[in-house]
Amino acid sequence: MREQRLRVYVRQATTTDFLLLVHLTDLLCQSRKIHIPKEAGLFYRYRNGDIAPPKLQALDPNEYFIALDQYGTAVGYVRYSTYDRTDKTLARLGYVEELFVRPGHLRQGVAKTLLSYIEELFLAMGCTGYTLHTDPSNIAARSLYEQVGMGAVTVEYFKPLNT
């Protein structure tokens, strides 16, 4: 099946996008519940308190870029950060914190467009590379990341400790 490309416009989020970002992160969390195996669900609950949207006051629009379709409807977003690691070979590293595309717009090039956009941003910011995380069971995401030239570099394990 061939991917049908959807033309999207990417722009940085603003404070007026606050409720939109809350809604989109809620949709992301709902989709995670579908893809995350039971063991990984434990990890998310321990790390975040639950698989839930971020606390409202923690949401910073400056960290988000939104993909809009031809009608101005938000069809996805990417949230990013950078890390300065002066003692490491990769001195400045970009990190894709979240990448989300609405279910009705999957496999239409939205995620590729967002990744291309954020890659250019990381280059302009002087990053020597960028990374992200996905769950092993998310085959579609892993395939996408490999298509854009990324490679798997770690395997992550988790064990909850009773405190």
| pLDDT tens digits for range 72-105 | 999 999 999 998 877 777 688 899 998 999 989 9
This prediction has a pTM of 0.77
Question: Could you tell me the residue range of the domain that residue 26 belongs to?
Answer: 9-147
Domain count for the chain: 1
Asked if residue 58 is part of any domain, the answer here is: yes
Asked if residue 152 is part of any domain, the answer here is: no
Asked whether residue 37 carries a pLDDT value surpassing 60, the answer given is no
| pLDDT tens digits for range 113-132 | 999 999 999 999 999 999 99
List the CATH number of the domain containing 35: 3.40.630.30
Asked if residue 1 is part of any domain, the answer here is: no
Task: Return the number of other C-beta atoms located less than 10 Å from residue 97's C-beta.
Answer: 12
Asked if residue 160 is part of any domain, the answer here is: no
Task: Return the number of other C-beta atoms located less than 10 Å from residue 149's C-beta.
Answer: 8
Distance (Å, whole) CA 126 – CA 144? 24
Q: HEC profile for 22-51?
A: HHHHHHHHHHHHHHCCHHHHHHHHHHHCCC
**Both structure tokens of 161:** 């400790």
Asked if residue 156 is part of any domain, the answer here is: no
